Amino acid sequence: MSRMLAVLLLLLTGPPTAPATTSVTVYYQAPPAWSTVNIHYAADGGSWTSVPGVPMSADSGCAGWHVKELDLGGATGMQVVFNNGSGTWDNNNGGNYRVGTGIVTVSAGAVGSTAPCTTTPPPTPSPAPPPTSGEMLGGDPRKDSIYFVLTARFNDGDTTNNRGGSQHVKSGNAANGDPMFRGDFQGLVDRLDYIKGLGFSAVWITPVVLNRSDYDFHGYHGHDFYEVDPRLESDGASYQNLIDAAHAKGLKIYQDVVFNHTSRWGAKGLYTPTVYGVRDSQWSWYYSEKVAGKTYHPLDENSTGNTYNGDLWNGTAPAGNTCPDFGTPTGGKSAEGYSLYHCQWPSPTAKMFPPSLFHQCWIGNWEGEDARSCWLHEDLADLNTENAVVQDYLIGAYQKYIDMGVDGFRIDTAVHIPRVTWNRRFLPALQNHLTAKYGATRARDFYIFGEVAAFVNDKWNRGSVNHSAQFFTWKERATYSADDTTAALEQFDYENNLGTGNQPTSTNAFLTGNTYHAPDHSKFSGMNIIDMRMHMNFGDASNAYHNGKDSDDSVNDPTYNVVYVDSHDYGPNKSSVRYAEGTEAWAENMTLMWTFRGIPTLYYGSEIEFKAGQRIDCGPTCPLETTGRAYYGGHLAGSVTAGDYGVVSSASGQVATTLSKPLVKHVQRLNRIRRAVPALQRGQYSTEGVSGDMAYKRRYTADGVDSFALVTVSNGATFNGIPNGTYVDAVTGDTRAVTGGSLTVGLNAKGNLRVYVLSTSTTPAPGRIGDATTYLK
């Protein structure tokens, strides 16, 4: 989206009026020994007053208090400290006082909002806030399969929080009666039984934090990381309610999180840039009339879908402004012929963000160091994640969601943060918080998997180890400078110079012959990965399988990889459309994912080939209904009750029709088979002594379990050198007695499967699981 076009996306919010300034009246109860009181302050986006600040006046109506009214221009808050003019300071123990507008009191280290010495009636008791704490379900994440939803596009349980935004008409969504924010937590709660009925035991949801942009339904334009977006919540269906409801049904919640960037408007509580604006005859349609104390609230849309933006703009350069030529005409014109101005829109190169908190450049080389230290898109203000203030802001935010009981984090754009920063700061901080809450052993059940977007088909991302997914599963192996920015550069050069041939290797995914061995996680970073190589090569299952195998020795433990065919971003080979190679190909892909190493993951609707062949995303240039991010709720109408994972006990209406589709039956049975055979969940694998294209043996021997399985997908195979004993196929129930260490399987049907499970003394074969389906028979 161009800068000019983006400026024109918002529409009229009210009649033009002169912009208002914001003010604050500060009351301070000084220590009795202070005869003089000064207030030293810095408005948001501005500079500190000269020391010692400005004098405060004794409040004649309230003994012991001093007062000062301050004009903050367009700022909505400030930092303040106090002194007695003789070198004694009250700076909140070095933390400064953070205050907003209106009435502010500071007394004995506490900040309030009621003027002192006034009589006010007692407040009306309000209902107790909903609980904001819970516990994760726990358990090895490899036991689960994951269903991935765009929450705002999945199912609408509460129409009152639907919002179309400023692009509702332009995008074509209005014509379809399809607001971008349509699905919500209530809708997800209402269809947890659908997800469980498919056989999934974990739900990956898109980011939940408060977003701010013109087209932010996906959740990746975070503005307040400490607040949940109200367009997703309802009375009785808060985020905490969703977590609790999922857990009650035995479903985990994996929350998508962003550390790399904020919205283009920065992050509330960290920094929000002030842009130039003017409510004249040309631009009053865009800039909201300023209202003292008013801030952005995404539910507060006007009739054209515009939200309040009076907190973002100013007609004069704010104190401390560093954006050159603030408010002077650029000489350019908008599409309507309106004058454009310098500093009218956030940009990394216009010095609108403090370099201590945000990066100041655009990415030029996607395999270069700048891919980790520059903006990747104009909607995404790139955080300086090597800064301690930024680190503390993000860590504090995501610890909150850990405390709510989420079961794991999917980390967006992980590749755009240096590995050493993950390994030094973010991953240890999360692990420490988890350990404090759950203890060291259970803390390891919290599942973290990162998106390291290497959109290539080879093992290493164009030869760059620093931009390859497997690289992020490893701890550092060198000592770098204490300064995080310097360390990031040192780490990049050190590993780049070592190259692809000198990276660590692992046998954690591989059997030794037929024997399982305890994995070595001593060098594990704490971050698992999305299997980008398999994803990129899923043009067909065999290609994905052989490429995945080729990369497995370079991943710390690929049995923890998230494996999917397509997503909300891309299809295989960086395709811009949802997978469309046909039902048989989908069935074969699923059969491989559910029996090979890794955690199988399905993007919502793939079970019915929803929007196959449609472009995945086109922003506001086309209706969402025509994309891979379309609303799915129409396929879920009616009622559904899950009797167990992969078992629907009752269904009616349209959802019953959805559940009758052949791929639905396929994935239900695959989930039931995988849940019954531990080797398919957590086992290492080997192809030693195995002939066949997609054929392998898997074993898991730990925790009182000894599960050994022979697997072949679509085609026949022969397994030599295997343990003697009784093997039972989980698909057909066929029983084989092996006495000579060899078993041959005949099979020739795309998407079909044989899983011959050895009956061991500790783990008997489960026998045939489920009834025959179109592809499993």
User: At 682, which helix (H) or strand (E)?
Assistant: helix 678-682
Q: How many CA atoms lie within 13 A of 694 on its CB side?
A: 31
pLDDT band at 696 (very low <50, low <70, confident <90, very high): very high
pLDDT band at 140 (very low <50, low <70, confident <90, very high): very high
Which of 34-48, 185-199, 579-593, 603-617 has the lowest average pLDDT?
Answer: 34-48
Question: Above pLDDT 90, what percent of the chain?
Answer: 82
Residue 125 has pLDDT above 70, yes or no: no
Residue 8 has pLDDT above 60, yes or no: no
* Rounded Cα distance, 384 and 390, in Å: 7
Residue 385 has pLDDT above 70, yes or no: yes
The count of other CB atoms within 10 Å of the CB of residue 771 is: 9
Residue 120 has pLDDT above 80, yes or no: no
User: At 227, which helix (H) or strand (E)?
Assistant: strand 222-228
Superfamily of domain 677-758: Golgi alpha-mannosidase II (2.60.40.1180)
The answer to whether 330 and 341 are in contact (CB under 8 A) is: yes
Mean pLDDT of the 631-638 span: 98
Residue 725 has pLDDT above 60, yes or no: yes
Helix (H, G, I), strand (E, B) or coil at 274: coil
Q: Please give the span between the terminal C-alpha atoms of the chain, in angstroms, as a whole number.
A: 49
**Closest C-alpha to 728, from 738, 720, 718:** 738
Mean pLDDT of the 745-773 span: 97
Per-residue pLDDT tens digits for 328-373: 999 999 988 999 999 999 999 999 999 999 999 999 988 888 899 9
Q: What is the structure's pLDDT at 605?
A: 98
Mean pLDDT of the 44-55 span: 85
**Closest C-alpha to 322, from 296, 305, 302, 342:** 342
Give the chain's mean pLDDT.
Answer: 92
Same fold, 23-112 and 677-758: yes
Residue bearing the bigger pLDDT, 462 or 385: 385
Q: What is the structure's pLDDT at 304?
A: 86
The answer to whether 685 and 510 are in contact (CB under 8 A) is: yes
Q: What is the structure's pLDDT at 88?
A: 85
Q: What is the structure's pLDDT at 121?
A: 37
Which of 119-123, 310-314, 610-614 has the lowest average pLDDT?
Answer: 119-123
The count of other CB atoms within 10 Å of the CB of residue 60 is: 8
Which of 11-15, 413-417, 452-456, 720-724 has the lowest average pLDDT?
Answer: 11-15
For residue 125, the 8-state DSSP code is P
Q: What is the structure's pLDDT at 113?
A: 78
Residue 119 has pLDDT above 70, yes or no: no
Domain 23-112 classified CATH 2.60.40.10? yes
Give strand pairing partners of 313: 275
Give strand pairing partners of 697: 686, 710
* Rounded Cα distance, 752 and 746, in Å: 11
Q: What is the structure's pLDDT at 48?
A: 81
- Angle formed at CA 121 by CA 115 and CA 127, multiple of 5 degrees: 105
pLDDT band at 94 (very low <50, low <70, confident <90, very high): low
Mean pLDDT of the 375-398 span: 96
pLDDT band at 130 (very low <50, low <70, confident <90, very high): low
Strands 690-691 and 705-720 turn out to be: antiparallel
Q: What is the structure's pLDDT at 6?
A: 36
Alpha carbon separation from 375 to 132, 323, 364, 380, 391 (Å, rounded): 34, 17, 9, 7, 18
Give DSSP secondary structure letters for 301-369: --TTS----TTTEESSPPTT--STTTT-EEEEE-TTS-EEETTSS--TTTT-S-TTTB--SB---TTSG
Give strand pairing partners of 191: none
Mean pLDDT of the 754-773 span: 97
Mean pLDDT of the 34-52 span: 86
* Rounded Cα distance, 74 and 23, in Å: 9
Q: What is the structure's pLDDT at 5?
A: 31
The answer to whether 425 and 155 are in contact (CB under 8 A) is: no
Q: What is the structure's pLDDT at 357?
A: 97
Residue 127 has pLDDT above 50, yes or no: no
pLDDT band at 131 (very low <50, low <70, confident <90, very high): low
The letter for the amino acid at 285 is W
Residue bearing the bigger pLDDT, 47 or 29: 29
Residue spans of the domains in the chain: they are 23-112, 385-601, 677-758
Mean pLDDT of the 9-13 span: 31
Give CA torsion, residues 659, 664, 670, 676, to 10 deg. -10
Q: How many helices (H) and strands (E) does the chain have?
A: 16, 35
Residue 128 has pLDDT above 80, yes or no: no
Question: Above pLDDT 70, what percent of the chain?
Answer: 95
Global confidence as pTM = 0.84
Residue 543 has pLDDT above 50, yes or no: yes
Chain centroid, CA 128 distance in Å: 29
pLDDT band at 91 (very low <50, low <70, confident <90, very high): confident
Alpha carbon separation from 5 to 1, 174, 773 (Å, rounded): 7, 20, 51
pLDDT band at 20 (very low <50, low <70, confident <90, very high): very low
